[in-house]
Amino acid sequence: MDFQSLKNTDVKGKIVLLRADLNVPASEGNITDTTRIDRLKPTIDFLTAQGAKTLILSHFGRPKGVTPEFSLKFMLPALEKSWGVKVGFADDCIGALAEAAKAALQNGAVTLLENVRFHPEEEKNDASFTKQLAALGDIYCNDAFSAAHRAHASTEGLAHFLPACAGFLMEAELNALTAALENPSRPVMAIVGGAKISTKLSVLDNLVRKVDYLFLGGGMANTFMYAQGIEVGKSLCEKDMADEARKIMATAKAANCEILLPTDRVTITEFRENAPFEIYAAADMPAEREAVDVGPATIEMMKEKLANCKTVLWNGPLGVFEVKPFDKGTNGAADTVAALTKAGKIVSVAGGGDTVSALEHAGCADDFTYVSSAGGAFLEWMEGKPLPGVEALSSQKKAA
Ligand code: AMP
């Protein structure tokens, strides 16, 4: 991926429009997870140390026009705490208020502009809105990988109106993802879990063309097992997706990708925390039971296969990890990948949906090589789709 890095961009005294993703989880005005904010610190440190004048653009939630509950203002204390700098605020991202904030900016100062989605033109990637944003700055720095699957004014459009570069978080995400899928050390194993295959068909279809092993867990493994005539009992299973599962298996075979399915399963008859469970080999699953996790033999099988792998890419939990003890399969697999990563034997990259919380729950998130803070963008990248925000950065570099 060819793009201009912030590292090599002369920002001293320049006004940098920094697209960040401050769409953080919050409840009643409190930010419940500051990961996305904390990960922007290297970019903020660089911009302030270099004497840039930084104007931050971000969306938050899905407001319909100006909607006070989606204002970004409440996050100023959290930004200042995480970044260790004073952060100013303007009540609009364009027009007189934004212009006044721009005029007041000193070298090394940081100001946050109000939610870009208060203007419906943002999501339409409207050219005249984008020009108004562009008029505020000298340089566009995109550090919002997690919003790069959207072709909006502040995530894509601006790269066509200003010299553009990738911030450090964007760069770290792209380097990690490239190392895992585009240019990985082989063999590569993709571990995919989660509830349903219907939401991840394109992900699976792309992965089997690129990886050496595809390990399937979670509810979606049941659909693949059902498609092979294996009993799934009362487990979550999309029977109408059996043909799609068979197609993916055929594509995998043609591409020399081995699909690994659970060899044993943790089963219950009544779903609740600490419900009594029994473990059955895949072939022996009784019709009246429900599989809610992969069993210990499956984790052993995964371990054996992983011993020969150099790269692991992970999305989705292997069981109903939110309810104990059905987190054991996910935890066991996470421990295994974390230990191999710590031993320097594999590169491990994880992300998308519930994956981050599953790895945090397992206490392993810090031991992976890289855990992406992106949800939808990570999944679209796993599908092999071009991400408009990233494409715009690299096409500008090519044109330069
Ligand atoms: P996804 O968003 O597709 O990654 O799915 C995540 C959800 O899949 C989590 O909430 C898990 O509880 C659920 N899940 C994982 N394994 C199973 C299973 N065997 N049966 C039902 N749900 C599952």
Q: Give the C-alpha separation, 336 to 253, whole Å.
A: 27
For position 352, what pLDDT does the model report? 87
- Does 289 qualify as catalytic in the annotation? no
157 lines ligand 1 (CB under 6 A): no
* Within a domain: 327: yes
- Does 36 qualify as catalytic in the annotation? yes
263 alpha carbon – ligand 1 mean position (Å): 18
* pLDDT 10s digits, 40-52: 999 999 999 999 9
* pLDDT 10s digits, 200-254: 999 999 999 999 999 999 999 999 999 999 999 999 999 999 999 999 999 999 9
Do residue 243 and residue 157 come from a single domain? no
Residue 299 has pLDDT above 90, yes or no: yes
Do residue 337 and residue 195 come from a single domain? yes
193 alpha carbon – ligand 1 mean position (Å): 7
- Does 342 qualify as catalytic in the annotation? no
220 alpha carbon – ligand 1 mean position (Å): 8
Helix, strand, coil percentages, rounded to 5, for the chain = 45, 15, 40
Q: Percent of the chain beyond pLDDT 70?
A: 98
What mean pLDDT do residues 95-118 have? 98
Task: Say which CATH number the domain at 90 has.
Answer: 3.40.50.1260
* Within a domain: 133: yes
63 alpha carbon – ligand 1 mean position (Å): 29
Residue 399 has pLDDT above 70, yes or no: no
Do residue 204 and residue 348 come from a single domain? yes
Do residue 227 and residue 327 come from a single domain? yes
* Nearest atom (ligand 1) to Cα of 317: 15
* Within a domain: 374: no
329 lines ligand 1 (CB under 6 A): no
Q: What is the span of the domain harbouring residue 36?
A: 6-169+386-399
Domain count, the chain: 2
More confident residue, 28 or 229: 229
Do residue 123 and residue 76 come from a single domain? yes
Strand partners for 89: 112
Do residue 233 and residue 194 come from a single domain? yes
- Residue 130 φ then ψ, to 5°: -60, -40
Do residue 202 and residue 248 come from a single domain? yes
* Nearest atom (ligand 1) to Cα of 321: 12
216 lines ligand 1 (CB under 6 A): no
For position 395, what pLDDT does the model report? 78
Residue 194 has pLDDT above 70, yes or no: yes
Do residue 22 and residue 110 come from a single domain? yes
353 lines ligand 1 (CB under 6 A): yes
Residue 400 has pLDDT above 90, yes or no: no
Residue 289 has pLDDT above 60, yes or no: yes
90 lines ligand 1 (CB under 6 A): no
For position 398, what pLDDT does the model report? 62
* pLDDT 10s digits, 161-186: 999 999 999 999 999 999 898 889 99
In the chain, the N- to C-terminal Cα span, in Å, equals 15
* Within a domain: 176: no
* Within a domain: 380: no
369 alpha carbon – ligand 1 mean position (Å): 24
Tokens of 12: 């001293």
For position 2, what pLDDT does the model report? 83
304 alpha carbon – ligand 1 mean position (Å): 24
238 alpha carbon – ligand 1 mean position (Å): 13
Do residue 91 and residue 203 come from a single domain? no
* Within a domain: 175: no
Task: Catalytic residue, from 41, 196, 247, 345: name it.
Answer: 196
Q: Percent of the chain beyond pLDDT 90?
A: 92
> Taking Cα atoms as reference points, which of 355, 1, 21 lies closest to residue 169?
21
Do residue 34 and residue 137 come from a single domain? yes
* pLDDT 10s digits, 262-288: 999 999 999 999 999 999 999 999 999
351 lines ligand 1 (CB under 6 A): no
* pLDDT 10s digits, 312-334: 999 999 999 999 999 999 999 99
219 lines ligand 1 (CB under 6 A): yes
For position 397, what pLDDT does the model report? 66
* Nearest atom (ligand 1) to Cα of 319: 16
Do residue 233 and residue 112 come from a single domain? no
Contacts for 174 with CB less than 8 Å, ≥ 6 apart? 1, 3, 145, 166, 390
Task: Catalytic residue, from 376, 384, 385, 397: name it.
Answer: 376
For position 28, what pLDDT does the model report? 86
> Taking Cα atoms as reference points, which of 260, 264, 267, 261 lies closest to residue 325?
267
* Within a domain: 377: no
What mean pLDDT do residues 69-83 have? 97
DSSP class of residue 234? T
316 lines ligand 1 (CB under 6 A): yes
- Does 376 qualify as catalytic in the annotation? yes
63 lines ligand 1 (CB under 6 A): no
* Nearest atom (ligand 1) to Cα of 199: 3
* pLDDT 10s digits, 349-384: 999 878 999 999 999 999 999 999 898 999 999 999
Q: Give the three-state DSSP class for 260.
A: strand
